[in-house]
Amino acid sequence: MGDADAVRFMLRSEIRSSSEIVISCGLDLTERTIFVVTDWHPPIGTAVSLRLSFPTVVAPVELAARVAANRAAGGPGEPGGVELVFEDSSREAAAAVAAQLQRLSASALTAPAGAARTYRVLLVEDSGFIRDMFAYGMASSFDPPGAVAIDHAEDAERAWQKLREGSYDLLIVDYFLPAEDGASLIARLRRDERLAQVTVVAISVGGAIARDATIAAGADLYLDKPLVFRDLLHTMRLLARREGSAPDTKRRAILVLDDSPLVLAVTRYALEAAGFEVAIAEDLSSFERLRTSFAPDLILVDVQMPEAFGDDVASTLRGWHGVRVPILLVSSLDEAELARRAKRADVSGYVLKNAGMTALVDRCKQLLGSAA
C-alpha cells in the first residue's frame, strides 16, 4: 500500500512501549505493517502496543507490533517516522481494518452523484492563503462539487460562533491563532454536549508542543505543517462518503450498563417505548463488547457496581478509549456526591434513580434531540 495508488487514510495511532507513549498519525496500513509519522526513533525490534482509531470510521482496535525501521524525513510529502510490523496474533485484525478502508475508498471513488447530504467542514486558520489552498484543493477533489462545503474562521472566537450557530462534521483547527490558541478552542468544544462529537483534526508548525496541547485538549488527530494535502483530502473524501452518503434515519442508540437485571429491564422498556434503540449489559465484559459492536449514541452507566465504580468506567472511556458520545451516570447516591463524581469523570451529567424513568427518558431526549 505504499505505492502511488495506495489508500492513505490518516488514522489516529497511539503507540505504547515500555518507556514511551506516542500519539500521532498512521498511514499506509496493510495486514502486516503501518507507517506512523513521529520524531520518536526507538531501537529496531522494540515491542509496542498500537491502538488505531478514527471517529465514525474505525472503532479503536488494539494491535501488537514491533519496530521494523526508522525513517528520516525526506523531501516534501515524505515525513519521518517509524514502520511497525504486526505480530502474527494481530494481523487478522489489521487486515480487517485495511479491508474496511479499501472498501470505503472504492465506494468513495465510484459512488454516483445523488441524494448524499453535504459534508460540512469548518477550517479555523488565520492565514488567508492556507484557507485558499484548502478551498482550491476541495473544489478540485470532490465530485459533485457540492458534496463537501467548507466554512472558514480566522480566530477561535469566530469559530466558536459558527460552531454554536451551525452544524459541522469536521473541524480543522490551527494551533497558533490570534488571542486564543487552537487547543483552548478544542477544549471548549469537547465540554459542550452538542458539539463534543465533532471530529477534530489539529494542524500546526508547532511540533511537539502543539501536538501535545491539542491532543490533550481532545483533538482526534494532529498533523504537522506543511500538510500533504492529497492525503488529508483523500481522508476527507472517505469521511464525507461515510457520513454523508444518505440521510440518517437510524434510531438513536443507547447502551445501558447496570448490574441489576430488574433495572436493566425497566430502563430498556422505557427507552424503547420512547423510540430509542437499546442494548443492555450486566457486566464490563458484555459492556465492552457491545460498546464497539452496537456503536451507541449515548451511554448510561450505573455508579455502584461489583466490578468497578461507574464514574471510573466513564473516565476511562473518556480518557483512554477516546469516547466522545454523551455519558450519563445513573445512581441512587446522594445528589451532591453524584454531581461530584460526574464532574470528576468528565461526563455529560447524571440522573438520580429515584427521579424515575420519565426523568431518565427526558434527559436522554435532551442530549440526543430525539429518538430518530
Which pLDDT tens digit goes with each residue over 41-50?
A: 899 999 999 9
Task: Classify residue 45: in a domain, yes or no.
Answer: yes
Give the whole-angstrom CA distance, residue 198 versus residue 326.
12
- Assess whether 96 and 137 both reside in one domain: no
Tell which wins on pLDDT, 2 or 37.
Answer: 37
Q: What percentage of the chain has pLDDT greater than the value 70?
A: 82
Query: Going edge to edge, which strands form the sheet with 253-257?
Result: 277-281, 253-257, 298-302, 327-331, 349-352
Give the whole-angstrom CA distance, residue 215 versus residue 219.
5
82 residue type, one letter: V
Task: Say yes or no to pLDDT of 149 above 60.
Answer: yes
What is residue 323's predicted lDDT score, i.e. its pLDDT?
85
- Assess whether 124 and 97 both reside in one domain: no
Segment 114-125 mean pLDDT: 72
Q: What is the CATH number of the domain that holds 30?
A: 2.40.10.220
- Assess whether 31 and 89 both reside in one domain: yes
- Assess whether 221 and 325 both reside in one domain: no
Q: What is the CATH number of the domain that holds 361?
A: 3.40.50.2300
- Assess whether 144 and 223 both reside in one domain: yes
For residue 360, give the C-alpha cell: 431518565
What is residue 65's predicted lDDT score, i.e. its pLDDT?
93
Task: Say yes or no to pLDDT of 7 above 80.
Answer: no
Give the whole-angstrom CA distance, residue 269 versus residue 280.
11
Give the whole-angstrom CA distance, residue 250 versus residue 257.
22
**Could you report the per-residue pLDDT of 291-310, keeping only the tens digit for each?**
877 778 999 999 999 888 99
Q: Which of 110, 134, 162 is the last residue of a domain?
A: 110
Give the whole-angstrom CA distance, residue 110 versus residue 127.
34
- Assess whether 166 and 231 both reside in one domain: yes
Task: Classify residue 3: in a domain, yes or no.
Answer: no
Number of domains in the chain: 3
Task: Classify residue 69: in a domain, yes or no.
Answer: yes
Q: Which of 244, 279, 296 is the last residue of a domain?
A: 244
Task: Say yes or no to pLDDT of 227 above 80.
Answer: no
Q: 116: number of CA atoms within 13 Å, CB side? A: 25
**Could you report the per-residue pLDDT of 306-361, keeping only the tens digit for each?**
888 999 999 999 888 888 899 999 998 999 999 999 999 999 999 999 888 888 99
What is residue 234's predicted lDDT score, i.e. its pLDDT?
66
Q: Mean pLDDT for the chain?
A: 82
What is residue 117's predicted lDDT score, i.e. its pLDDT?
59
Sign of CA dihedral 83, 89, 90, 96: positive
- Assess whether 32 and 64 both reside in one domain: yes
- Assess whether 349 and 311 both reside in one domain: yes
Task: Classify residue 6: in a domain, yes or no.
Answer: no
Q: 329: number of CA atoms within 13 Å, CB side? A: 30
Are 274 and 268 a contacting pair, CB within 8 Å? no
Task: Say yes or no to pLDDT of 6 above 60.
Answer: no
Which of 355, 367, 369 lies closest to 267 in space, CA to CA? 355
Task: Say yes or no to pLDDT of 23 above 60.
Answer: yes
What is residue 247's predicted lDDT score, i.e. its pLDDT?
43
Q: What's the whole-model pTM score?
A: 0.58
Segment 231-256 mean pLDDT: 66
Task: Classify residue 4: in a domain, yes or no.
Answer: no
Task: Classify residue 129: in a domain, yes or no.
Answer: yes
**Could you report the per-residue pLDDT of 61-117, keeping only the tens digit for each?**
889 999 999 888 665 556 788 999 999 998 888 888 888 777 766 655 444 444 455
Query: Going edge to edge, which strands form the sheet with 148-153?
Result: 148-153, 119-124, 170-174, 199-204, 221-224
Segment 163-192 mean pLDDT: 88
- Assess whether 194 and 286 both reside in one domain: no
- Assess whether 186 and 235 both reside in one domain: yes
Give the whole-angstrom CA distance, residue 219 versus residue 183.
8
Give the whole-angstrom CA distance, residue 363 versus residue 125.
36
Q: Integer distance in angstroms from the first to the last C-alpha of the chain? A: 39
- Assess whether 258 and 240 both reside in one domain: no
In this prediction, residue 225 has a pLDDT band, given cuts at 50, 70 and 90, of confident
Task: Say yes or no to pLDDT of 246 above 50.
Answer: no
What is residue 142's predicted lDDT score, i.e. its pLDDT?
61
Place of cell 440521510: 247
- Which domain does 302 fall in, by range? 253-368
Burial zone of 43 (CB within 10 Å; 0-12 exposed, 13-18 middle, 19+ buried): exposed
What is residue 255's predicted lDDT score, i.e. its pLDDT?
94
Place of cell 441489576: 260
Are 218 and 183 a contacting pair, CB within 8 Å? no
| Chain centre distance of CA 221 | 8
- Assess whether 105 and 215 both reside in one domain: no
Q: Which of 78, 110, 142 is the last residue of a domain?
A: 110
| Chain centre distance of CA 245 | 19
Tell which wins on pLDDT, 157 or 133.
Answer: 157
For residue 145, give the C-alpha cell: 462539487
Segment 170-186 mean pLDDT: 91
Q: What percentage of the chain has pLDDT greater than the value 90?
A: 28
Give the whole-angstrom CA distance, residue 361 versus residue 97.
36
Q: 124: number of CA atoms within 13 Å, CB side? A: 31
Give the whole-angstrom CA distance, residue 57 versus residue 225.
24
Task: Classify residue 362: in a domain, yes or no.
Answer: yes
What is residue 31's predicted lDDT score, i.e. its pLDDT?
87
SS3 197: coil
Task: Classify residue 237: in a domain, yes or no.
Answer: yes
In this prediction, residue 238 has a pLDDT band, given cuts at 50, 70 and 90, of low
